[in-house]
Amino acid sequence: PTIGIVIPAAGRGTRAGQGCQKAFRRIGGDTVLNRVLKLFRSWNTNCPIVIVHHADDISLLEASIDRDSNIHTTTGGVERQASVLQGLRFLSSLPKSPSHVFIHDAARPFASHSVIPAIAVSDTLKKTDSNGLIQATVPRDGLFRAQTPQAFKLQTILRLHEIAATSTSSYTDDASLLEEAGLPVRIIQGESRNIKLTYSSDFEEGERLLRANSP
Ligand code: CTP
Ligand code: MG
């Protein structure tokens, strides 16, 4: 197989706050997005990488990454789902379009070279009603938290995203499109350090992770 990477980075980072979109914020001296690029480049030096960004972020983006000739950029959409679709279309339109794709959120700079990682749920899970009152404790056997990267056959996930774009359902997780289509998806062991930078406090946690790992 040949592999390409799609990195959705077009969100607004509303929950993290701090004024600057989180992919372009620095953590341990490098931008979040550049860490993600280095991760994939340490694994493969020249596979095509498509960064999906917001139209307002072009100059921030250029200032935030070390470019090479196989790093491409394209603009995203209002929801992550739309951004992923734009990235997949771009990858598929390249002259040497790959057979497979990794989709990986810019907001997860601490991943290592794993595919479709997921972490067994260890917290006690509660189901609530719309007022926030607990209705039940949910058994956690067989429950996993999905992470990225997630790996797919490029044409399969592109086709499913094209179909999803015409429906009213919304998806925050790409693997769920295959699940709904009845296609098998395998989970592999994830990594607890592969946190998603969602809130400002996650950046502090990320800084701690980096300090704990530096010699
Ligand atoms: N993303 C995207 N396009 C969107 C929304 C999200 O490419 N329209 C990307 C984000 O940039 C991020 C990933 O999808 O890398 C996961 O989304 P999330 O963590 O929700 O990031 P944001 O949408 O930026 O943050 P928030 O929801 O707090 O605004
Ligand atoms: Mg979001």
pLDDT in tens, 161-204: 999 999 999 999 999 999 999 999 988 888 889 999 999 999 99
> Which ligand is the nearest neighbour of the Cα of 8?
1
pLDDT at 144 over 70: yes
The complex scores an ipTM of: 0.99
Task: Give the ligand 1 atom nearest the CA of 105.
Answer: 15
pLDDT of residue 118: 66
Instruction: Give the pTM.
Output: 0.91
* Mean pLDDT for the chain overall: 92
**Section 105-115 average pLDDT:** 86
Regarding the beta carbon of 198 and ligand 1, being less than 6 Å apart is answered yes
pLDDT of residue 215: 64
Quick one: pLDDT band at residue 120, thresholds 50, 70, 90? confident
pLDDT: is 74 or 142 the higher one?
74
- The HSE-up count of residue 86 (CA atoms within 13 Å, CB side) is 22
Instruction: Quickly tell me which residue has 């990225």 as its tokens.
Output: 148
pLDDT at 83 over 60: yes
Regarding the beta carbon of 78 and ligand 1, being less than 6 Å apart is answered yes
H helices of the chain, in order, are 32-43, 58-64, 80-93, 154-165, 175-180, 200-213
Point out the least confidently predicted range of 9-13, 114-118, 202-206. Answer: 114-118
- CA–centroid distance, 136 to ligand 1, in Å, is 30
